Amino acid sequence: MSPRIRLHKAIAQAGIASRRKAEKLIASGKVRVNGKIVKKQGVIVEPSTDTIEVLGGKIPPFAKRKYYFLLNKPVGYVTTTKDPHRRKTVMELVPDIKGLFPVGRLDKNTAGLLVITNDGELTYRLTHPKFEIEKVYNAEVNGDITESELKKLEKGVFVDGKRTSPCKIKILNKTTVQLNIHEGRKRQVRRMFEAIGHRVLKLDRIEYAGIKPDIKRGNFRRLKPSEVKSLYKRVGLK
């Protein structure tokens, strides 16, 4: 018998969605337990005996096998499982396994490292701001970057009325810098440079949570057990 746990966690552990998304599915009436719609948060379930349905489909009664992939995303793909505009998605570049979803986002014109998994609990924690997961980018911008502009970025600039957290910056050449950040706001790096008067021409995520690229652009590989263990450790999971 599996342990009794909260409904949103059971959905996440089944690889259907992150805990945050699971809570939204529950609130919108998209989840049933033993045939009844559940909208209340915090309901306790027994995954091995209760019938749990999400969006009309039953989730497996026991935790299914978990998959962890690293993708070196090319430009031109959107980071989503499905796209209503029929654009190419990152899911076309990894194995066709039901329940996989990307951890966080890289916009269509950004390349680089992206973790794809069906581990909802890990995804939830990796994308939660309190765990401050480090991401390293190489950014090529228009125009020469001055020392004063870099200092502004390092201290934090205002995006949507809120100052970004301090970051580490390394100059690669006059128009290209390397940024180490731990926030994950939408289009954050591009908007940080817009705040100091520069437009990002090329953006590449070269490191994610300590994982560095060792695969060609457009390729994927399974995460090594040591890498999965490291990710778990970073977010306080065992």
Catalytic annotation, residues: 107
The residue assigned the tokens 């909802």 is 120
Q: Phi and psi for 152 in degrees, rounded to 5? A: -65, -45
Contact 150, 177 (CB under 8 A): yes
> What residues form DSSP beta bridges with 140?
176, 202
Give, in order, the Cα–Cα distances in Å from 44 to each of 3, 40, 51, 233: 10, 10, 13, 27
Burial class of residue 95 (count of CB atoms within 10 Å of its CB; 0-12, 13-18, 19+):
exposed
The residue assigned the tokens 């014109």 is 109
Give the burial string for 20-52 (b: 16+ CB within 10 Å, else e).
ebbbebbeeebbbbeeeebeeeeeebebeebeb
Biggest CA–CA distance in the chain, Å, is 62
